[in-house]
Amino acid sequence: MNIQDLLLKDAMIMDLQATTKEAAVDEMVARYKDIGVITDDALYRKDILAREAQSSTGIGEGIAMPHAKDSAVQRATVLFAKSQNGVEYDALDGQPVYLFFMIAAPEGANDTHLQALAGLSSLLINPQLVADLKQAQTPENVQTLFAKAQAAKDAEDAKEEAEEAAKAQAAAATPADDQKPFIVAVTACPTGIAHTYMAEAALKETAAKMGIDIKVETNGSEGVKHQLTADDINRATGVIIAADKKVDMPRFDGKHLLNRPVIDGIKKPAELIQKTLDEEGSIYHATESQSSEEASADKKTLWSRIYQDLMNGVSNMLPFVVGGGILMAISFLLEQTVGAHSTTFIFLNSLGNNAFNFLIPVLAAYIAISIGDRPALMPGFVGGYMASQATASVLASKSPAGFLGGLAAGFIAGWVIVGLKKVFKNLPQTLDGLKPILIFPVLGLLIVGFIMYFMINPVFAQINLWLSTFLTHLGAGNALLLGAILGGMMSVDMGGPFNKAAYTFAIGVFTTTKDGSLMAAVMAGGMVPPLAIAVAATIFKNKFTGSERKQAFANYVLGISFITEGAIPFAASDPLHVIVSSVIGSAIGGGLTQLWQITVPAPHGGIFVAPLANHGLLFVLAVLIGTFVSALILGLWRPVAKEA
């Protein structure tokens, strides 16, 4: 498959009408749906916006490359769109976008598709092609321009491969003092479709102009290409990592290394190359288990690192929570009709409980692996298991350390392994092989087990017991306040740290007490924002543009499914009105669930698990009241839209 097969004429929009980012996405997604490239425009649009939330695909120079790979896509396609007046797209250079390349890749796209997509990305680094595309008038013009550019690039690539082979032979026979400067780089982006290859092209082109030899490894969706060899790394003056995801780092031990976002590889290649030549990057030490994020001076804040580690545990734990929780809830519902001794009840209930038995061990294990990599998995898992069991220890307690103890176990196991790596970093090379198979497993388990048995379990068991007792005896007024706070937190950042903190707290209480009252609060709070936006756009049509109303309609489905993220595009474009109104409505919804003593014995599902609640109709009513309060505030407060 070549570029011509991807650039369908029917998909092209030669006069894009949109003036805003959201409207541009809507217009292009609608074209994809019209010509049958995608079957589910809501899913594809959601994934496009999720990628935009990570970082803008408006890469500068008037170009944007929104892209997504999901099950809605029927065939790999690139939609070319051209705007005459430009679109404010939050581009990285702050300038309007005139050329759009919306990339759609099927979920099971093979290497042929991805190689073609990578080729397209690398072509757009050519300023002459970009200038010509801005003047193109017909789809045929666009295809012709790309065909010529592809032919020229193929010839250049063939020449480059021959030159690289010749350089390698010459380097082997040339004294080191006479060789040209040589550096290596790795590029990678979360989806591995566009930015990965544009950064590669920019670095190679700039290096050629500077008279520098460079080899760039790409970590894209098609796998690792142009993989750096041990000889490449040893020969290089330094290393550039232009990546937004984790790459293989230990091989760079002892090298000067710069770690930057992938967009810097596209926008600042000369700066990265010069700093690497000047050896300004810090020396990377793999034996100290530095993560790729820590390998440069641009380190993450302590809180962001903790949050990343915590979310790694929570995200891997959630399937166990959702699967086990919903099956248990269904078993309780069936118990009322088939009885507690029926095979159906026993099967579903035991299956749900079996899944729940893994919650805390999995949470701890994946927090640990986020910190200390693979060697931390086993001690983290065992530490989490210890936290889930009520065992005799220094302070005898019938209560396990529970969710809080599991959190502690994960962080302790991760940092114990980091510490052991530092302690044994100078071990003779002949004994290096003992670390992963003997030293880390034995000492890691011994230290984590000791801390859990003698310190964490006794203390957190008492905390867990106190928390359970406190929640059991919580007065109506305090329960209402707690429900309102948790519900409101679900809307503060709609999927961010506040949202996740509230949800994680409710899961912790749920796994400890099997009481779903706080799950009802956070679920109601999370359902309100998208539903409120949908209702407001339906009632107050003049307060939303046409594209916003179309987009808001999908929030009916997202809202009832407890997918708060459907509100993010609206909150991003109008944070004051959307977030404030959403927090008020969510707090009311969360508070009402506690006032009416509603419990939802399932951690996810929205309206679809309402029948499992003890007061299903009251739960729906709490969500509706919160939704309409929020929708009225938003609709009355928001100014009239410029495009009615």
| Residues forming the active site | 67, 189
Q: Record the tokens describing residue 220, joined without a space.
A: 């894209």
Q: How far apart are CA 83 and CA 134, in angstroms?
A: 9
CB atoms within 10 A of CB 171: 16
Q: Which residue, among 192, 196, 183, has the nearest Cα to 265 in the 3D structure?
A: 196
Sheet holding 282-283, edge to edge: 223-225, 213-220, 182-188, 239-243, 256-260, 282-283
| Residue whose token pair is 């479709």 | 193
3-state secondary structure of 240: strand
Q: How far apart are CA 493 and CA 500, in angstroms?
A: 9
Q: Which residue, among 31, 21, 32, has the nearest Cα to 64 in the 3D structure?
A: 21
Note whether 508 and 464 are within 8 A (CB).
no
Q: Which residue, among 595, 416, 624, 639, has the nearest Cα to 528 in the 3D structure?
A: 624
Q: How far apart are CA 5 and CA 10, in angstroms?
A: 12
**Which residues is 161 bridged to in the sheet?**
none
Position 474: which residue type? Answer: L
| Residue whose token pair is 């924002």 | 529
Q: Which residue, among 141, 22, 43, 143, has the nearest Cα to 87 in the 3D structure?
A: 22
Task: Report the alpha-carbon angle 439-371-226, nearest 5.
Answer: 95
Q: How far apart are CA 380 and CA 542, in angstroms?
A: 54
Note whether 150 and 118 are within 8 A (CB).
no
Q: How far apart are CA 122 and CA 395, in angstroms?
A: 63
Among left, alpha and beta (phi > 0; psi -120 to 50; other), residue 402 is: left
Position 434: which residue type? Answer: L
**Which residues is 70 bridged to in the sheet?**
106
Dihedral, 102, 108, 112, 116 alpha carbons, nearest 10: 10
Q: How far apart are CA 644 and CA 637, in angstroms?
A: 16
| Residue whose token pair is 């009916």 | 556
Q: How far apart are CA 573 and CA 21, in angstroms?
A: 9
Using CA of residue 41, residue 43, residue 49, residue 55, what is the dihedral sign?
negative
CA distances from 140 to 9, 137, 145 (A): 7, 8, 9
| H runs (alpha helix) in 217-376 | 230-235, 262-267, 269-277, 302-338, 343-356, 359-372
Q: What are phi and psi of 38, to 5 degrees?
A: -120, 150
Q: How far apart are CA 552 and CA 224, in angstroms?
A: 39
